[in-house]
Structure 1
């Protein structure tokens, strides 16, 4: 897959600002928001000038008991080919339940829900990942999610769960350091322990995002500036491995271009400091 560099999540609301930001090596797009053959003009212009574009899925639900939707996989594969993407990414999560096989109504959660860290759940996830890998024309990377609950009876830490997933499927990892911080505040999980357990060589790229703390809970809002504790988790990761790519996510309450540039500068500062040490 090679080196990605420093990037930003492409959103229509900030498309013009992204086009003007200096030293943006790549962008990530929400796959479900795009149609192959009908890409937005600003994204077409980024592609024309050689900017790498990576599709990021949010609806496959690879952690659910239901097998991945074939049409959804084909659409993701077609988008990856149109974008000439070096990889695609999704989440370690489930997003729906029910349906004909359960004699209950199909329910879409509208949210990324955590997968129980059990060996049975790992078996299901691995099977679904292999199905996706057979359809996708490029490598798949999967992201750790933020969560507000822990399932009872879990058998593995999150780091070990992901390590075994990589061992069994060869899938790559998208490590979201903001989600690691969220789970540290909300569930007492140690980001350093997670990073010790996951295979560093499998990290395809890293997400960085902002949030806020209220009433003792961390809210992974993607609508606030990146905080120092999240950058500290990024530094912890960079002390172990040089990530091929790091990407700033922002989904709402967008700042002016100068604010985005400042956040990218802060991220690059962590990367440069890690290389200097």
Structure 2
């Protein structure tokens, strides 16, 4: 299957983001069905032993990029695309995921995953960038909605509308981060449940769940705390509408005990199961 074909996913299950600080935890933790690794943190020719062990057990490993800049004005960097492709091949990955984000311009790195201006002109640029990325990758591409603390004043579309039109034009897969939907409801007033009714969930590849904190009325998506119940409620709402191929917990710093992580995976499963009675 080439990277530009429509994404079809087998069941992934419930997973966790692999971090070197959590390698032994993940190796011995029960109930981990797949993992995701930040692509910029690994070298395909010298993969961490922990990832190789997980692959030997049959766990899918998904490279997750954070610096491609698919929402930049310039085309994606061929070297960054080549790295993502090499990661996917070395790990035998079913897909590659990245963010629908603006990260650099004019030689300046933003240092953050910034929201793309949701205009028709921007959409045309992103469509072309996605097609270039799909042509360069050996597996399908999925794009993640990002957390934002501001919106561009010239926005013409909601985040969900922008993603829906992008998917229709390119067939790109969706990685829906329900924590980011919650973030954008708090910070930007974009109703999260309404977004689920607009997003083309038939293109869903997997889901992210993570925690953060609110300060002075702004939600900060830090991936350093337990997911708030409101985020898990959004996961339930998503599961009422579709059965996601996979749901993955993100935890990126201030790492907790093994028991806390295991409890978070259990909370995810409980939130998914709660959708069954409502279908």
After TM superposition, the structure 1 = structure 2 runs for residues 1-277 of structure 1, keeping only pairs within 5 Å, are 1-98=9-106, 106-277=107-278
Per-residue CA deviations over 1:202-253 (Å, capped at 9, x if unaligned) read 1111000001111111111101111101111111111111111000000000
**Contact 2:146 2:177 (8 Å CA) reproduced:** yes
2:72 is paired with a residue whose SS is coil
Aligned-pair CA distance for 1:9: 0.1
* Deviating 4+ runs (over 6 angstroms): none
- Paired positions, count: 270
Give the RMSD, CA atoms, in angstroms: 0.8
Q: TM-score, normalised by structure 2?
A: 0.95
1:115 is paired with a residue whose SS is coil
**Contact 2:237 2:275 (8 Å CA) reproduced:** no
Aligned-pair CA distance for 1:276: 4.0
1:260 is paired with a residue whose SS is helix
Per-residue CA deviations over 1:103-162 (Å, capped at 9, x if unaligned) read xxx101111011011000000000000000001011100000000111112111111110
**Contact 2:64 2:96 (8 Å CA) reproduced:** yes
Per-residue CA deviations over 1:74-131 (Å, capped at 9, x if unaligned) read 1111110111100010000010010xxxxxxx10111101101100000000000000
Per-residue CA deviations over 1:50-90 (Å, capped at 9, x if unaligned) read 11100000011000011101111111111101111000100
2:46 is paired with a residue whose SS is coil
2:205 is paired with a residue whose SS is strand
Q: Which has the higher contact order (CA 8 A, sep 6+)?
A: 2
